[in-house]
Amino acid sequence: MMSPPYRSYVLVSLDQIARNYRNVRAAVGPGVEVMAVVKADAYGHGALEVSRTLIGEGAKWLAVSSVDEGVALRCAGIAARLLVMAGFLPSEREALVEYHLTPTAHSLEDVAELDRMAQRSGHPLAFHLKIDSGMGRLGTRAQPGEIVAALRALRLARMEGLMTHFASAADFTSPQTDQQVARFNACYTALREAGMAIDYAHLSSTNAIGYARTDAWHNMVRAGHALYGYVSPPRGAARKQILDVQPALAWKAKILAVKDIPEGTLVGYGGTFRAPHAMRIAILAAGYADGVFHRLSNRGKVIAAGQLTPILGTVSMDLTTIDVSHAMGLQPGDAVTLLGTEGDVTLDAQQIARVAGTISYNILSSISARVRRVYV
């Protein structure tokens, strides 16, 4: 393949994302709906292209973080159900209704407000209610009796789903997830016993799927990271990981310049690297403004001509310098791999994250908008 004419670009395999989605569906079985999480531009893979692909695979539900993200997908013609997971501001209420987005209510005040919004519009409005089962972030901490009373007072809004989110689903040294499941189930049962219909009950994201916490699946799961090929490493005595997913993205940067430097040359801001001997360096057309973590300065690696090679000196805003002493054939215009596979050498988001002191989600979602997405 001719290399794309961009300074830095990601190659996204939509086929791999489709395979990952099918793998998640097969793992949870036919009785469990898979909501595909496409927030944060589908973790850097491109929300619109990923959404179209997954809808083509039969996805009925997509999840985004914000009203803005939902509106962008609607405007691009996405007709699937869209759950907005991370709250809505007063200024976003109108768009929520106008674009037929499905809000997540995080408090009983949200529930009452959604009913007022439905009445103003004259149309029914379905929402999902999130409970804080122990993560201590978004979600209501109201008692089941209070929730029942709030739901009974509704006129046009309707609770369609009951959900929660786990703080530590890959951590088998902690009882936190089991406690969260127990609290969720107590609330779920109390609501059902009070006669509340609940079409969807959902708690699990990638790690609770991958580590087969089947008691937390109910009839819907929310998969994000797994669609993009990752399951977090476990802690403690985890159950066997049941997903077989692969990364779908490779990130490249072109070489802008190649040069030979003598022993003792300082490289980059702050002069933090001093060449211990004569070497050949290449300057790459990507820096921290593209998503190359500054923390990778003098620590990270890239793949050049099929070999792992170190980043030299500090990562700059637009440029990164690497050692190419092993690859005398590399020229300006050639591409190196910042994330991905060349031959039998792989550098994935989890490996990069370990060196950068962060998590793979952070690496993927930090690849900035100016890095062109190319679909293969």
Ligand X SMILES: *Cc1c(COP(=O)(O)O)cnc(C)c1O
Task: Write out the residues near ligand X by the rule CB under 6 A.
Answer: 37, 39, 85, 165, 205-206, 222-226
Residue in 6, 9, 21, 39 annotated catalytic: 39
Which residue's CB is nearer to ligand X, number 320 or number 360?
A: 360
CB of 208 to ligand X, least distance (A): 9
CB of 27 to ligand X, least distance (A): 13
> Residue 25's closest CA among 232, 242, 248?
242
> Residue 185's closest CA among 202, 170, 206, 197?
202
User: Residues with Cβ < 8 Å from 241, sequence gap 6 or more?
Assistant: 210, 211, 212, 231, 234
Which residue's CB is nearer to ligand X, number 25 or number 165?
A: 165
Does the active-site annotation cover 240? no
> Residue 324's closest CA among 348, 345, 308?
308
CB of 285 to ligand X, least distance (A): 30
E strand or H helix that includes residue 322: strand 320-323
Check if the beta carbon of residue 147 is closer than 8 Å to that of residue 108: yes
CB of 166 to ligand X, least distance (A): 9
Total residue length of the chain: 376
Does the active-site annotation cover 301? no
CB of 138 to ligand X, least distance (A): 8
CB of 40 to ligand X, least distance (A): 8
Distance CA 81, CA 169 (A): 26
Distance CA 266, CA 273 (A): 6
> Residue 230's closest CA among 242, 249, 247?
247
Distance CA 94, CA 117 (A): 8
Residue in 99, 188, 254, 269 annotated catalytic: 269
Distance CA 17, CA 54 (A): 8
Residue nearest ligand X (C-beta atom): 224
Which residue's CB is nearer to ligand X, number 325 or number 362?
A: 362
Distance CA 117, CA 263 (A): 69
Which residue's CB is nearer to ligand X, number 50 or number 283?
A: 50
Which residue's CB is nearer to ligand X, number 177 or number 316?
A: 177
Catalytic site positions: 39, 269
